[in-house]
Structure 1
Amino acid sequence: MESLTKNRQDPATLHAMIVRAYGVDRAPDPAGDWCTELGHGWFNVAYRIRLRDGAEVVLKIAPPPAVEVMTYERGAMATELAALRLIREHTDVPVPAVDHADTSRNLCDADWFVMPFIAGDNLGMLRDRLTAAESDAYQEQLGAVTARLNAVRGTAFGPLTGPGVPTWRAAFTAMIDSVLADGERRAVGLGRPYSAIRTLISDNAACLDDVTEPRLVEWDLWDNNAMVRDGRIVAIIDHERAFWGDPLIEAGFTGLELPAFGDSQPFTRGYGHPPLTRAERVRRRLYGLYLTLIMAVEIDYRKLPGADHHAWVHARLAEALTRLDG
């Protein structure tokens, strides 16, 4: 996937990174065929690299500092590293180990880290080949995995790397307002005046006060961020959008109020979540608005191509706004 945020590096720089992470004895022969870009991500660039001893690893590099990213994306790699630590320390959810992380920026202009390559299929790329029963089974597994992640408790709402705030209403309204501010900065058209959208959010925000305990939220756990093998999820990847918040904001619940994102019932069964209350439905509608606002604004920030994609995103944004109107 093409995006301005992908910070590609030349082979010499990539090789120097691998030498730093694994030592010269394990680094591949620079003249060999040892590096392939993994192209399915939207934000960071990632490379699959074969070491001299045959082991395979993944190198992820944060966006270049000169590229303007959305407010919620700042410090994303630090967030991912914090999430990986929390998940490994407090759950049994399978995630890659971090072999080496580097924030010195003296080999390239951004932070980077390396981890073992996970052998398996990306669930998002496998989706079209699955039967309905197989797809439902994977969604139930995603629900169960997400519930285990959400069981990790925090002390404040907001970024994993801090600072946090004491209430979810304060954290979430700041999060969604930052997206609106990003859109205003680029004069992104959202189909309604920004002031009207802010009023709509304020009019529906009281339900956020029902959330009183910060939980670890992955938020971006779509099919594309699950690796599967032999019918089981063997790892979840790409944790840079995690935060302390309300578990109901998780990606798997999105279809409950925005059906175009897919059927959420198998996920909900696997998660073990009961039918939503009226207040929970309003929260889900706010979270759907947050997601679709990001999708609409990021088109400009990343210069994402595709007229069909643009039209689909703006249709979903209009739907999210309409669902909050009533």
Structure 2
Amino acid sequence: MRYESITRPDGAFQQALTASQVVAVCGRGFGRKPVSAVELGGGSFNTTYRVDLGGETVILRVAPARSYRIERDFMRHEHASLPFFAPIADLMPRTLFVDFTHDLVPRDYTFQTMLGGVSGAEGFRALADKPGFFRQVGEIVRVVHGVRGERFGRPAGPTHATWSEAVLSTVEFLRDAGLDDSDMREVGVLAAKNSAVLDEITEPRLLHGDLWIPNVRLDGERIVGVFDHDRASWGDPAADWSIYEAGRKPGTARDAFWDTYGRPSTSPSAVWRSALYRAVHLGAVRIERHRLGLADTIPANYEDMARVLAELR
């Protein structure tokens, strides 16, 4: 087998499998030895390979060996939520094999079909009609948010009877990165104090959790693939990452997102919840930056959080 992996420093968060481990997991999943396995860059969480099985090319995704609580069991949440993404199944990779036993490697892994097109980042740069792209994203997100659930929280658990319980659980998960979390503690206090505002949301809806430019595939002007829903959850649609990103740069091409998705509510309760969701997203971004070793970008995150807390107060 031809094997190519990305060289990383000792102690790096992402860790490659050995060639023999790749052969072993391919044998379990498909009963054959791969012709080649090439590790792909671009992501910052799972370790991903393009695997040639001899006439069939598949994607192997391997979960990290360690993670913070907010990122734990991402692959299991992705797998548990997959049936509920049926309305956009034509855009998503097919799952071919999943192994959570840790028998062959001490990590979760899954094989999927390979999507066509080019990466979202590459394709987006070449687009002449960027508003058209965001209209497509808005339509896809609207369809996802139309899927109803029974309880709030993560697809593989824990789940909660109320939205406020789910939000408070998420805030607690965001406090274990070894960083100053005094601002996140205040976010939790404000969320608990205003639980009634959060619990105006009574119907869980499906959230992709990470549907934006990096996690789509493009063929020319058309979105032909959507992937990486391991941050999926059941909650308030306004709390989804797509909504956060769509509203982050008003006055730009992103505004076209709302043409197909629909305009966000401007009620006082909705505006307050939106600020709280921004705080939660900033907490998640802080943990990711810390995990990636981007220490010089973390102070700006604290500054952004201070501005959102001023709104929440």
User: Normalised by the shorter chain, which TM-score bucket?
Assistant: 0.7 to 0.9
Residue among 118, 121, 129 paired with 2:118: 121
Shift of 1:209: 1.5
Q: Compared with structure 1, are the counterparts of its residues 4 and 266 closer, same or farther at alpha carbon in structure 2 (3 Å cutoff)?
A: farther
Write out aligned runs for 1:1-326 (5 A): 4-24=12-32, 27-29=33-35, 34-53=36-55, 55-64=56-65, 67=66, 69-88=67-86, 90-92=87-89, 94-131=91-128, 134-180=129-175, 182-183=176-177, 186=178, 188-190=179-181, 192=182, 195-255=185-245, 258-259=248-249, 264-300=254-290, 302-305=291-294, 307=296, 309-325=297-313
Shift of 1:105: 1.4
Shift of 1:168: 0.7
Code of the residue aligned with 1:71 in structure 2: it is R
> C-alpha separation between the residues in 2 aligned to 1:19 and 1:168?
43
Question: How many equivalent pairs are there?
Answer: 305
Q: Compared with structure 1, are the counterparts of its residues 226 and 303 closer, same or farther at alpha carbon in structure 2 (3 Å cutoff)?
A: closer
Q: Percent identity?
A: 26
Shift of 1:36: 1.9
> C-alpha separation between the residues in 2 aligned to 1:258 and 1:205?
25
> C-alpha separation between the residues in 2 aligned to 1:93 and 1:124?
21
Given the two structures, how large is their TM-score scaled by the length of structure 2?
A: 0.87
Q: Compared with structure 1, are the counterparts of its residues 196 and 176 closer, same or farther at alpha carbon in structure 2 (3 Å cutoff)?
A: closer
Per-residue CA distance 1:25-81 (angstroms, 9 max, x = gap): xx433xxxx22222111211111122211x2211000111xx2x2222221111111
Name stretches of at least 5 consecutive residues in structure 2 with no aligned partner.
1-5
Shift of 1:272: 2.4
> C-alpha separation between the residues in 2 aligned to 1:227 and 1:87?
17
Q: Compared with structure 1, are the counterparts of its residues 109 and 261 closer, same or farther at alpha carbon in structure 2 (3 Å cutoff)?
A: farther
Q: Compared with structure 1, are the counterparts of its residues 137 and 263 closer, same or farther at alpha carbon in structure 2 (3 Å cutoff)?
A: closer
SS in 1 for 2:224: strand
Shift of 1:291: 0.6
Q: Which moved more, 1:117-126 or 1:71-80?
A: 117-126
Q: Counterpart in 1 of 2:3?
A: none
Given the two structures, how large is their TM-score scaled by the length of structure 1?
A: 0.84
Q: CA RMSD in A?
A: 2.6
Code of the residue aligned with 2:311 in structure 1: it is R
Q: Compared with structure 1, are the counterparts of its residues 303 and 272 closer, same or farther at alpha carbon in structure 2 (3 Å cutoff)?
A: closer
Shift of 1:261: 12
Q: Compared with structure 1, are the counterparts of its residues 310 and 274 closer, same or farther at alpha carbon in structure 2 (3 Å cutoff)?
A: closer
Shift of 1:84: 2.1
> C-alpha separation between the residues in 1 aligned to 2:304 and 2:69?
22
